[in-house]
């Protein structure tokens, strides 16, 4: 990002964006780079929630990388489910992605409604490749939301609804009954005719079906391994977040103790001053 003016702009504090962008436009024009100046001039100032997401990309690169990997694993898990993989593959990937979203949102430099928008944007990144690419680049301009039918929660529910993990069995068409052969009362229907041929030998398993099932099992195993790796990454990210929160709580407690001491000293000084005035 160091050599990219746009990347530098979206990493600035929010109030610095416009003045630094305008100064950069002037500098590019002075160099004779009118095309570059025009491109930078078009860069839109991010919303506060989008700015917070961009800061997470720069402040928490490992967790963001894990989120991107989780989104990719989630896509693979959906494909595996369609190919007959077990539902646990999809559910594990969705749960891991949601854990990363929650952990990162807790670290956002905003709160309230803006933090909810950060969470929504990170959520969308796990299920939408376009949003995922935008987040990975750290150039989010406006908060995003998950499209479709409920995002991660819906995928987790879908995984629960496919506990059998397989595609529905294919229906086999039954051969229709033909009319009777011949004429008159002595006519005999084909199904009523005695069989004079030897019964067919039982067929072995279909090689193509076996191959398809082996491929599906292999892909499911790979997707499960990816999901397990994502879960491990999410746990590490969550542990790091919890450690940071613990440290910040200690800092807050120390700050409150310092404030209480300062207030006590002020009160003692005021009482001493009041006693002198009274004397």
Residue-wise pLDDT tens digits, 229-258: 555 565 665 566 566 666 667 777 877 888
108 with 56: CB under 8 angstroms? yes
How much is the average pLDDT of 117-140?
Answer: 94
Q: Please report the pLDDT score of residue 213 as a whole number.
A: 57
Q: Which one-letter DSSP state was computed for residue 166?
A: S
176 with 82: CB under 8 angstroms? no
Q: Measuring CA to CA, which residue among 127, 88, 124, 98 is closest to residue 234? A: 98
Residue 66 has pLDDT above 50, yes or no: yes
Cα–Cα dist 70/63, whole Å: 10
pTM of structure: 0.55
Higher per-residue confidence, 77 vs 117: 117
Cα–Cα dist 71/121, whole Å: 13
Rg (CA), the chain: 33
Q: Please report the pLDDT score of residue 124 as a whole number.
A: 94
Q: Please report the pLDDT score of residue 92 as a whole number.
A: 80
Q: Please report the pLDDT score of residue 218 as a whole number.
A: 56
- Place 167 in a pLDDT band, splitting at 50, 70 and 90: very low
Residue 38 has pLDDT above 90, yes or no: yes
Structure tokens at 259: 């404030």
Q: What is the mean pLDDT of the chain?
A: 75
Which ranges of the chain does DSSP label H, i.e. alpha helix?
A: 5-9, 17-30, 34-41, 48-59, 61-82, 87-106, 113-127, 129-137, 151-160, 207-278
Cα–Cα dist 168/2, whole Å: 52
Cα–Cα dist 141/135, whole Å: 10
17 with 9: CB under 8 angstroms? yes
| Domain extents in the chain | 1-45, 58-166+208-250
Q: Calculate what percentage of the chain has a pLDDT beyond 90.
A: 38
Q: Which one-letter DSSP state was computed for residue 155?
A: H
């Amino acid at each position: 990002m160091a050599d990219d003016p746009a990347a530098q702009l979206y990493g600035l504090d929010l109030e610095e964006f416009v003045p630094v962008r305008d100064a950069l436009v002037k500098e590019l024009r002075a160099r004779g780079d009118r095309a570059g100046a025009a491109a930078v001039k078009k860069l839109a100032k991010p919303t506060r929630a989008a700015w917070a997401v961009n800061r997470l990309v720069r402040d928490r690169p490992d967790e963001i990388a894990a989120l991107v990997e989780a989104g990719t694993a989630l896509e693979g898990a959906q494909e595996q489910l369609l190919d007959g993989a077990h539902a646990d593959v999809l559910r594990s990937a969705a749960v891991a992605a949601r854990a990363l979203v929650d952990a990162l949102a807790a670290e956002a430099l905003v709160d309230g409604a803006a933090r909810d928008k950060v969470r929504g944007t990170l959520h969308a990144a796990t299920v939408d490749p376009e949003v995922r690419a935008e987040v990975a680049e750290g150039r989010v301009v406006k908060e995003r939301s998950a499209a479709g039918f409920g995002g991660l929660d819906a995928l987790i529910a879908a995984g629960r609804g496919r506990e059998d993990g397989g595609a529905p069995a294919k229906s086999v068409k039954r051969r229709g009954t033909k009319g009777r052969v011949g004429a008159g009362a002595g006519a005999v229907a084909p199904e009523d005719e005695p069989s004079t041929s030897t019964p067919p030998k039982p067929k072995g398993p279909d090689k193509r079906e076996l191959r398809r099932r082996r491929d599906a099992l292999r892909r499911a195993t790979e997707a499960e391994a990816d999901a397990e790796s994502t879960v491990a990454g999410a746990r590490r990210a969550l542990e790091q977040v919890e450690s940071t929160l613990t440290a910040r709580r200690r800092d807050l407690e120390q700050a409150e103790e310092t404030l209480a001491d300062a207030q006590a000293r002020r009160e003692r000084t005021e009482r001493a001053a009041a006693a002198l005035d009274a004397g």
